[in-house]
Amino acid sequence: MPAIIGVPMRLRHHRLASLLGMAWSVGFCLAEAEAAPGVSTKYDTIVRTTAARHGVDTALVHSIIAAESNYNRWAVSGKGAQGLMQLMPETAKDYGVKNVFDAADNIEGGVKFLKALQAKYPNQPDLVLAAYNAGPAAVAKHGGVPPFPETQTYIARVKRNLRLAPKTKNTRIYEFRDKEGRLVITNDIRLVPPAYRP
């Protein structure tokens, strides 16, 4: 079997087809995100656990994912934002994301970023969303929400998704090590040793 750079020709064609298929899928899903807003239950367990751990509203995280990638974990924007929560490479690195296309890793980084923005702009949800979309530097430069049409549309889309999201109560998640050193993650406070309770 012929090989180029040590890779069998058949495997090279398979990988090329996979890459082309992924590129088509990414383009299709980004276009679809414009036409099909709204929250989904996809990745709900990861979203709920991560949001609860960081004290961020679950519905807000779902609304951002719906607006950013329409739940396509392979999404890549023209500007280079990647994954479910459309993290720029620098942001992903800043928040410890190793694989932006891994749903749990991407959501963890996105929620940490969102939590940092909420701390930076307390009780100012439009500034939080503007900074998530355009970056904190753009918000600082413009002294508020930047006048970019994309950012204005993004804020409106997330807020619309948030209004449509089912109202749920965030559940507090507790993490601790048991006597054998195993990591325990639970939402049942009765299982949590007193030293780990609020």
Give me the active site residues, please: 68
Let me know if 50 is exposed, middle or buried by CB neighbors in 10 A (0-12, 13-18, 19+): buried
What Rg value do the Cα atoms of the chain yield, rounded?
20
| Residues making up the chain, counted from first to last | 198
Gap between the Cα atoms of 99 and 78, Å rounded: 19
Gap between the Cα atoms of 134 and 154, Å rounded: 10
Contact 92, 109 (CB under 8 A): yes
**Other CB atoms within 10 Å distance of the CB of residue 52:** 18
Between the CA atoms of 129, 134, 140 and 142, what dihedral angle is there, to the nearest 10 degrees?
Answer: -100
Contact 133, 151 (CB under 8 A): yes
Q: Nearest-CA neighbor of 30 among 64, 61, 59, 73?
A: 73
Backbone phi, psi, residue 42, to 5°: -65, 135
